[in-house]
Structure 1
Amino acid sequence: MYRFKTFLLMTLLTVIFIILGGAIAGEGGLFTAFIFALVLNFISYWYSDRIAIKMTKSKPLPKEKAPNLHRMIEDLSRKADLPKPDVYITPSNQPNAFATGRSPNKAAIALTEGIMDMLDKEELEGVIAHELSHIKNRDTLISTLAAVMAGALAFIARLGRYRMLFGRRNKGAGALLQIAALIFAPLAAIIVKMAISRTREYKADARAAEISGRPDGLASALEKMERYMKSGGENMEVNEATSHMFILNPLSSEGISKLFSSHPPTEDRITRLRQMR
């Protein structure tokens, strides 16, 4: 099933990418966008873990610097029937975490400095189990592909707007098509990405409760993290295209941005976990 989802996502985003390239630069743009999309898909598939780590400025966390954390991840990985993923630390005071990698054998988990300081053992186990669930379900590949393609679409849309302002402008129907593509193509890609993200968060929460055996641990962790977000704590310095990869959206969601949130309401997630007791 995950292979079908991956293929579908790559196909949809590639088609949107080609349409946008064609609207901006005509037939030549169609061919260029097609080649660029193929190259981008190839790179993001094989190097998804490295891309995500680099985009979030995460660094390797050696076992000797955090032996208890590594032992915890080893134990939970064994319960989830997974190889132990690589462990990274993300330089931010905001409590958050994400997983990445194209397969369980090429996976990594990144934890922020803030989450290490804020959560107790059971809460941290819940968060790690949640990320292991994403690895088990192969969500990590899909989410990274979505991040890379969405970021590329946003970039090419900016180039298109620049060309409209300072370059040669199309006229009539061509101009309308160009404007529509610049507005709706990136939006369509975002909607595709969000639809996948919301569903997978609920599933990962449920699986995490099974792995850790303590649904209250993850529920309590989500409460603390949400409280930090609502109290005006710092946003992470991450690209918006990668925000859906985290256990909670690391960027503030106010106003209309809530309509396009990649995560379901945290209160709903907590309620579901409490009911699993």
Structure 2
Amino acid sequence: MVGNDLTARIGGTLALILAIDVAFALIVAALLEPWIGPVVASLAGGSQLRGYGLLAVLTLVGLLWIQLLYARRNLLAEANAYPVTAESHPDLDARITRLASLADMRVPAVAVADSDVPNSFAVGSLWSGTVVVSEGLLEILSDEELDAVLAHELVHLKNHDAVVMTLASFLPALVSDEYSILEDELPASAKPIVFATGALVWFVLSSTFIDAPLLSASGLVQFVVATAVVVLVGGITLGLLATPVVFLSQSLSRQREFVADRDGARLVGNPSALARALTALDDVAAPPTEDARRRYDGLEGMCLLPYGFSGGGEREGNAKDDGFHVETRSHPPTEERIERLRELASALEGTKTA
């Protein structure tokens, strides 16, 4: 019954987040419609209503896809992890293969982070995934505890939790400007050309609704006003809609950690092993040295425990530390996770003796 209630809460929370995402996509589509609506409508068979719907879908899918692509790549790079093979880490590879078989899922890739801080996380796409563990984790845990932690991460992959959380937090990520394609991908010399080209295309597309010559004073004024309306209304809308998503995403993050704890413990048949692992990792964690508001940013938000791979959550070399940040991930208190695992262990023991 508890498991069903938790699943229902997760489903309801995710449904609310997706509804807000769709509302944002519809508003963005309405703002962009004067510029590219006629083009999209022609692709939709000349129907303005179908064109508007297509524009909203393209907007939402495009934004979500960009964020998903960036999150996976950036998290792996931030962890400074190297891929492992059966030859380099035979024991770890065998464990992952055995546990993936028990979970009836594809064997994911495995990587080891060059860090003495014991932690782990899973990052995945819709089709593949990677389990990352630190060298410190491999050293500190017993065999049973390591299996339990790996099972926890495999459950995250099987449930597509990394994908869900990345997509669920995309509005706050836009507010924080976490994924700036042009800034991150383009060489410095190409940026002015790309920005100028984009501005020119934006200006030319405005001819579909401006009722004056584009290069006239009236045309320029209309263009500036229309652009300002899009930026202002879009920004206000983003801020308003992102606010409830922040709290919903934090709730979703905690709920999915509980599910991964529960199902991972059931997978290995030993909830006590995961409880001991959480206790051991929590005991050796350095006290956090960064602003608590940064605790769940990026890598830390995806890890088994929220202190990342760099001692106390420090984010060395992160050029965005001083930037605006919206926290969207939150781990449940370790004590509560351990208590739930102990209750699960008691329940399983009672089932065995019944």
Regarding TM over 0.5, the answer is yes
Q: CA deviation at 1:272?
A: 1.2
Distance 1:196 1:238, change over 3 A: closer
| Counterpart amino acid of residue 152 in structure 1 | L
Which residue of 254, 265, 273 corresponds with 2:341? Answer: 273
TM-score, normalised on structure 1?
0.71
Q: CA deviation at 1:180?
A: 6.7
Name the CA distance, whole Å, in 2 between partners of 1:31 and 1:107: 39
1:42 is aligned to 2:110: no
Name the CA distance, whole Å, in 1 between partners of 2:68 and 2:11: 12
Gaps of 5+ in 1: 159-175, 254-258
Name the CA distance, whole Å, in 1 between partners of 2:22 and 2:176: 13
| Counterpart amino acid of residue 219 in structure 1 | A
Instruction: Decide whether the 8 Å contact of 1:49 with 1:107 is kept in 2.
Output: no
Name the CA distance, whole Å, in 2 between partners of 1:264 and 1:238: 13
| Counterpart amino acid of residue 77 in structure 2 | K
Q: CA deviation at 1:178?
A: 9.3
Residue of structure 2 in register with 1:88 after alignment: 111
Q: CA deviation at 1:182?
A: 7.9
Instruction: Decide whether the 8 Å contact of 2:141 with 2:277 is kept in 1.
Output: yes
Residue of structure 1 in register with 2:99 after alignment: 76
Residue of structure 1 in register with 2:75 after alignment: 52
Instruction: Decide whether the 8 Å contact of 1:148 with 1:241 is kept in 2.
Output: no
Corresponding pairs, count: 254
Per-residue Cα deviation, 1:214-253 (whole angstroms, up to 9, x for no partner): 1111101101111223x42788x99814433211112669
Percent of matched pairs sharing the same residue: 28
Which residue of 200, 204, 210 corresponds with 2:260? Answer: 204
Which residue of 128, 134, 138 corresponds with 2:150? Answer: 128
Instruction: Decide whether the 8 Å contact of 1:123 with 1:220 is kept in 2.
Output: yes
The equivalences for 1:176-215 within 5 A come to: 186-215=242-271
Distance 1:10 1:47, change over 3 A: farther
The equivalences for 1:21-32 within 5 A come to: none
Alignment RMSD (CA, Å): 4.3
SS at match of 1:248: coil
Name the CA distance, whole Å, in 1 between partners of 2:143 and 2:282: 18
Look at both structures and tell me which one has the larger radius of gyration over its CA atoms.
Answer: 2
Greater relative contact order structure (CA < 8 Å, 6+ sep) = 1
Name the CA distance, whole Å, in 2 between partners of 1:149 and 1:113: 34
Q: CA deviation at 1:273?
A: 1.0
Gaps of 5+ in 2: 1-6, 37-55, 181-231, 314-326, 346-354
Deviates more, 1:242-251 or 1:199-208: 242-251
TM-score, normalised on structure 2?
0.57
Instruction: Decide whether the 8 Å contact of 2:296 with 2:328 is kept in 1.
Output: no
Name the CA distance, whole Å, in 2 between partners of 1:97 and 1:266: 15
Which residue of 135, 138, 141 corresponds with 1:113? Answer: 135
| Counterpart amino acid of residue 12 in structure 1 | I
